[in-house]
Amino acid sequence: VSFFLLSSVIFLLISLLFPQPSFSEGIQEAWSGIYIKGKKSGYSIIAIRQIDNGYAISENVEMIFKAMNSYQKIKTAANINTNKDFLMKSFTYQLQSEAANLTVEGKLINSNLHIKTSSPSNKQEITLPLKSYPFLSANIIPYLFKKGFKENTRYRLSIFDPSTLSIDEMAVELVEKEKKKIGNRAEDIYHLKGTYKGMAMHTWIDKNGRTIREESPMGMTIIQETKEMALREPKEGELIDIIDVTAITPDIGIKEPSKVKYLKARLSGIVLKEFNMDDERQKLSGDTIEIKSENINNIKAENLPVNKKGIEVYLEPTLFIQSNDKEIISFAKDIIGNEKSSLHAARLINEWVYKNIEKRPVVSIPNARDVLKMRAGDCNEHTTLFVAIARAAKIPARINVGIVYLDNRFFYHAWPEVYVGRWVALDPTLNQFPADATHIRFVTGELDKQMEIMKIINRLKIEIIKYGD
């Protein structure tokens, strides 16, 4: 079950919301309480101060999650230097949890964003070409406020997500200017709407740019509070189990889901055409999906190394899947030994990951080197490491993200696919080879693509039409 994916969605939502102090009065700071479905989950503090030729903006967030009877405390810190128009010049970002210590540094040079990342076992540098100025959440409202809001005008901004090292577009518009009672007086309040990956977030700010309240999907609300109120830690009974509250209960249960080889279900509540649902394993017709688990006995498996035109990309190393790492290559050789069949080699890797990675929820940005060192994680860690080892063994492999049926409900989940003559889905977290037919894929790809799953969280409804073995 993907605790990482859900916690990443929450932190992305927080990073896209705009808790702001009044930046019209010099050095200021703002404290906010973070709530999920009305229950306290953490706090944020953001401060803006003037420096030579611009501004320094800092934002710190701390949250506590409950997941599968464990508690996870997560901290993020962002520091941004901007010019006088609040356009970003450089930044640092840190994410800390029990299992993660990630630092990302970025600097704009000409039309490129130069990035350095550092984690316990991994340091990398990349350069992203830019079409427009990138924004982090903390400098969006100051920039727009200084630019001057206009009703019925949509501003399209490039948002950099430091956790996935990706840039995507966000649209921000002034919905209305309204009068609201703040304390004992009526004030002009600006209602802003931000749209990112199809999700709407709402922010209300006063005439000085100070955030009053924010609302986003997943029942998340950020409310301006005093420092004392914001720092109040959630009581144990308050904490939301984010895996539990995002699970999907179908109309009927599925008996022995691990043995299910065929599933037919009706999907509703989301825009299905936004996802490429069809492949060899699953077919979508209207709102009805049919899934058939692969019969691996009928596959004429290719020998290693697998060479197939058109899918070479699934053999290549990436920022998070370091299949060219010497230690990962060595592990791949040790695991598969002299095995020549790509199918049998994939099974050996699947079994090794299942047996050697402890199953517990962790908050990290999964990359294969760190997972190999930590030897713990949920489905994202299992899948990331599996794909890296498979690629190192010259088996094309990729990441699927969607849902899986466990304990009477569907949960958000990640699992890999390998090409062994055809694509085969498997699951090193659950020790399935192939994966059962309750695995419903919505997205294929790494972290930047996986955030597309935000579009279905707390929206998707499932009606089981038929299932069997």
Dump pLDDT digits (tens) for 129-188. Answer: 999 999 998 898 889 888 887 777 889 999 998 888 889 899 999 888 888 776 677 888
Domain co-membership, 401 together with 275: yes
197 and 295 inside one domain: no
Residues 228 and 317 in one domain: no
Q: Is residue 69 part of a domain?
A: yes
Dihedral of the CA atoms 323, 326, 331, 337 (nearest 10)?
Answer: 100
CB burial class (10 A; 0-12, 13-18, 19+) of residue 180?
middle
Domain for residue 270, yes or no? yes
Note whether residue 66 is domain-resident.
Answer: yes
Residue 379, burial from CB neighbour count under 10 angstroms (0-12, 13-18, 19+) = buried
Statement to judge: residues 286 and 198 lie in one domain: no
The beta-carbon contacts of 107-111 under 8 Å, at least 24 apart in sequence, are 108/133, 108/134
What pLDDT, on the 0 to 100 scale, is given for residue 165?
Answer: 87
Quick one: 334 and 265 in the same domain? yes
- H-helix or E-strand containing 13? helix 3-16
Between the CA of residue 349 and those of 99, 366, 380, what are the distances in Å? 24, 18, 16
Give the residue from 191, 214, 242 where a domain finishes. Answer: 242
Q: At what angle do helices 342-356 and 379-392 cross, to 10 degrees?
A: 140
Of 362, 402, 370, nearest to 388 (Cα)?
370
Residues 218 and 259 in one domain: no
Q: Where are the alpha helices (DSSP H) in 357-431?
A: 368-374, 379-392
Q: Does one domain contain both 196 and 283?
A: no
Q: Is 251 found in the same domain as 235?
A: no
pLDDT confidence tier of residue 190, bands split at 50, 70 and 90:
confident
Residue from 19, 28, 34, 77 nearest 48 by CA: 28
Average pLDDT over residues 206-213: 81
The residue among 105 and 19 whose pLDDT is bigger is: 105
Give domain status of residue 5, yes or no.
no
Q: Are 433 and 350 in contact (CB under 8 A)?
A: yes
**Residue 416 sits in a domain of what CATH number?**
3.10.620.30
- The stretch 95-123 carries a mean pLDDT of 89
Is the residue at 223 inside a domain? Answer: yes
Residue 462 C-beta-side C-alpha neighbours within 13 Å: 28
The domain boundary residue, chosen from 223, 242, 261: 242
Task: Please identify which residue in the block is written with the tokens 């010259």.
Answer: 394
- Are 216 and 137 in the same domain? yes
Cα distance between residue 92 and residue 105, in whole Å = 4
Range of the domain at 358: 247-468
Contacts of 36 (CB under 8 A, 6+ apart): 10, 218, 219, 220, 221, 240, 242, 245
pLDDT digits (tens, 9 = 90+) for 345-383: 999 999 999 999 999 887 778 889 999 999 998 999 999
Query: Does the pLDDT value for residue 12 go beyond 80?
Result: no
pLDDT at residue 123 tops 70: yes
- Mean pLDDT score, 79-105: 92
Task: Please indicate, yes or no, if residue 7 is contained in any of the structural domains.
Answer: no
What is the crossing angle of helices 379-392 and 326-336, to 10°?
80
Q: Is the pLDDT at 237 greater than 80, yes or no?
A: no
Confidence (pLDDT) at 252: 96
- Is residue 454 scored above 80 in pLDDT? yes
Contacts of residue 310, defined as CB under 8 A and 6 or more positions apart, other chains included, come to: none
Residue 321 pLDDT > 70: yes
- Based on the fold, state whether residues 70 and 133 are members of the same structural domain: yes
Q: Are residues 332 and 454 in the same domain?
A: yes
| Domain boundary pick from 210, 242, 274 | 242
Residue 316 amino acid letter: E
What strand order describes the sheet that includes 397-406?
423-425, 409-419, 397-406, 440-444
Q: What whole-number percentage of the chain has pLDDT above 70?
A: 94
Domain count, the chain: 2
Distance in angstroms (rounded) separating the CA atoms of residues 167 and 127 = 12
Those residues whose C-beta lies under 8 Å from the C-beta of residue 73, and which sit 6 or more positions away, are 62, 63, 64, 97, 98
Q: How far is CA 298 from CA 224, 421, 424, in A?
A: 60, 11, 12
**397 and 292: one domain?**
yes
User: CA-to-CA distance for 98 and 362, rounded, in angstroms?
Assistant: 7
Q: Is the peptide bond before 396 cis (omega within 30 degrees of 0)?
A: no
